[in-house]
Amino acid sequence: MTTQENSNSSRHAPAIRIGLLNGLNMTSLGRRDKNIYGTIGSLQELEDLVCEVGAKIGVEVVPYHSNHEGDLVDFIEAQSNIDAYLINPGGLWAFGEPTKLALHQSRKPFVEVHFANIYATGHDSVFTSVATGTVMGFRHFGYLGALIALAAELRAGRLTTEARV
């Protein structure tokens, strides 16, 4: 296969599909402390940024937000064609057991993302114990790092949709 043929075939390879979940209180982005949450102006701006970067690296990002935990669980359970997830549980970090369980039972890798380092405030997240990885403290840039790392691990075959159980 020539370099050109190889390049063309990789362009037509099925995209990785990553669900981008944002939980409780994430709609207040842009109105929160800029020292903690950075300059991102809104949840829509964040989702657009992650989708744009995803497209550049061959990842289809499927964003979903709800302030209602049951909606997040329903979304996870309905997604048979998602390869992995990024989740900022927002206010669910302390008590989101149903969402954690749905992610765990999906048997799909997921990375927990937080704008701030919640451990620095003395808090623990219920998601961390079953997450493939966790990124904290890098504001909206943490989403981009998590997206790139997750896609690279999936492509390298180190993570599969059956990786976490």
Catalytically active residues, by annotation = 37, 114
Query: Which residue in 84, 97, 102 sits closest to 20, CA to CA?
Result: 84
DSSP code at position 37: H
How far lies 21's CA from each of 47, 67, 118, 122, in Å? 10, 11, 18, 24
Three-class SS state of 15: coil
| Burial class of residue 138 in the structure, from the number of CB atoms within 10 Å of its CB (0-12 exposed, 13-18 middle, 19+ buried) | middle
> CB count, 10 Å around CB of 56?
9
Extended strands (E) in 40-98: 59-65, 84-90
In sequence order, what are the residues at sequence separation of 6 or more whose Cβ sits closer than 8 angstroms to the Cβ of residue 104?
130, 164, 165
